[in-house]
Amino acid sequence: SARRGLRSRFVHQLQQAAMGASHGLAAPVLEKHAEDGRSETLRFGASSMQGWRPKQEDAHVVIPKLDQDAARALFCVFDGHGGEEVAQLAAQRLPELLRADACFAGHGSTPDQLADALARANFQIDTYVASAEGQAELRRILNAAAGAAGRRGRPLPA
């Protein structure tokens, strides 16, 4: 059992080294960004951490009161999966798409109708991302991020 514990610890260290090596980091970035708040009906908290990635790729949405109905809130995490731009675009567009959806806007909406509105909004984001307009917006997000990070170089290709 001591041998098994040693082997488990060794495997864990190898996995951590491989994570760092694949992203060029010697150790994960452990700095956390947190926010909290409350609405009329709930209290919330959110936190993010970069980890082993060269930069933070995820985005989140915290809207404790999405519309006039105080019971409707929106909390989402968008995993960048190797790139921040789609996560940021989804975080920007999802709330507006939900608010524009007729089933979501109806105050008598059932949970199934709300789930359908959420699915439709996600499909709309997917369609937008694949469009020429969506691709141009993704390039703008990437170029803005590169500029904010102070990186020099040519803009991303159109």
The SS3 call for residue 149 is: coil
Of 140 and 70, more confident: 140
Highest mean pLDDT among 2-6, 48-52, 61-65, 124-128: 124-128
**pTM over the 0.75 mark:** no
Angle at the Cα of 47 from the Cα atoms of 58 and 39, rounded to 5 degrees: 110
The SS3 call for residue 101 is: coil
Q: Which amino acid is at 107?
A: H
Is it the case that residue 12 has pLDDT exceeding 70? no
Q: At what angle do helices 132-148 and 84-100 cross, to 10 degrees?
A: 130
Mean pLDDT of 71-87: 84
Is it the case that residue 156 has pLDDT exceeding 90? no
The token pair at 122 is 């996600």
Give CA–CA dist 126/147, Å, rounded: 26
Q: At what angle do helices 111-130 and 132-148 cross, to 10 degrees?
A: 80
pLDDT at site 6 = 66
